[in-house]
Amino acid sequence: MKSFGSFIIFVLLAPGLAAPAFGVPLDAPSATLLTADRTSVTLMVQAGSSGAPAGFIVEWLPADQYYALGGWPVSAATIKGSDFTGVPTLTVTPGVESFQLGAGQFAEVVIGDLFDETGIEATDQAELAEGVEYAVRVRAVAARPGLEQSANSPTIICATSPRTSTDCTVSLGYWTRHPESWSRVKSLALGSVTYTQGQILAILRQPARGNGLVSLAHQLIATRLNLLLGVVPPASVNQAVVQADAAIGATVVPPIGGGRLVPFSTRPLTVTLRSFNNGRLGPDRCPNDMQIVSTNGTTWGTLKSIYR
């Protein structure tokens, strides 16, 4: 009788143990292209009726690969992407505190300009290539047990801008990747503090991590190097440079020092200088296939003519 009772208990429990737990998928968000420059595209991601309570994922790959495959690859190895799950401090949507969206809420994201953004985990923080089309899709992240991630949104095609004029600026990413191009610049001032070339490079490689001082310093460095190349900025950029120096003052930028500024206070200046460096405000951005070659005895004027 004892063994028979054990057998009955096993039979009664086995179906419960084996039953799979199926969650309810979230509604797919949508993605819309807002603007593009030569190194990035700005998207509006809008949550579906069930929201994106844990955030969303944006994925992208060159459109020529997408067309050649007839769609998205099965393997995720060739797909670039980022999880947007936390609180942004660089690209902020008015009225939206984080990437965790309620029903119908939307957030702006800038693909190709993610190095200084917060609340994300990106597989690729590099700039996008200029004049290139990209396939982009989004989906909501699984929120909690019982709520599965959504299906992918319809794919949209976004294109970065080509160069359209002879005068041009150089992006932050280029200056960071090619310190040899500005090796003749032995020092730069940020606020009232002067930094050596080695210190400036260390600052460029320092993630902002929500520190408005670092993200502002990044764009101010790129702007100063562009001005040394002879680029003529609009009045708004000249004013932003003066205001940026005033905001930084004697505060020493990480990792050289431990200074910090609230992102809210520096964001407007950072966005203005970033727009100038990326070719949205003032002259276009210089093409990626042109390089500055810095040699002994070469003047900045000569470098500019080579770069054009």
Instruction: Decide: pTM greater than 0.85.
Output: no
The domain over range 24-159 is classified in CATH as 2.60.40.10: yes
Coil, strand or helix: which one is 208? coil
Residue that the structure tokens 């600026």 belong to: 169
| Cα 46–Cα 47–Cα 53 angle in degrees, nearest 5 | 135
Rounded Cα distance between 132 and 112, Å, is: 12
Q: What is the DSSP letter of 52?
A: B
The type of residue at 74 is V
**Distance set, CA 240 to CA 9, 29, 224, 250 (Å):** 75, 36, 12, 17
Mean pLDDT of 53-62: 97
Task: Tell me which residue of 221, 61, 224 sits closest to 128, measured CA to CA.
Answer: 61
Number of Cα atoms under 13 Å in the Cβ half of residue 23: 13
Q: Are strands 168-169 and 284-285 parallel, antiparallel or unpaired?
A: parallel
Rounded Cα distance between 204 and 221, Å, is: 8
Mean pLDDT of 210-236: 93
The domains of the chain are located at: 24-159, 168-307
Tokens at 174, concatenated: 């280029």
pLDDT, averaged across the chain: 85
Residue 204 contacts residue 115 (beta carbons within 8 Å):
no
Rounded Cα distance between 238 and 223, Å, is: 10
Mean pLDDT of 271-281: 91
Tokens at 58, concatenated: 């944006």
Grade residue 65 by pLDDT with cuts at 50, 70 and 90: very high
Question: Nearest 10 degrees: CA dihedral of 207, 212, 213, 219?
Answer: 70
- 132-155 residue pLDDT tens: 999 999 999 998 888 899 999 999
Cβ count within 10 A of residue 187: 11
Grade residue 22 by pLDDT with cuts at 50, 70 and 90: low
Exposed e or buried b per residue across 4-14, where buried means at least 16 C-beta atoms within 10 angstroms of its C-beta: eeeeeeeeeee
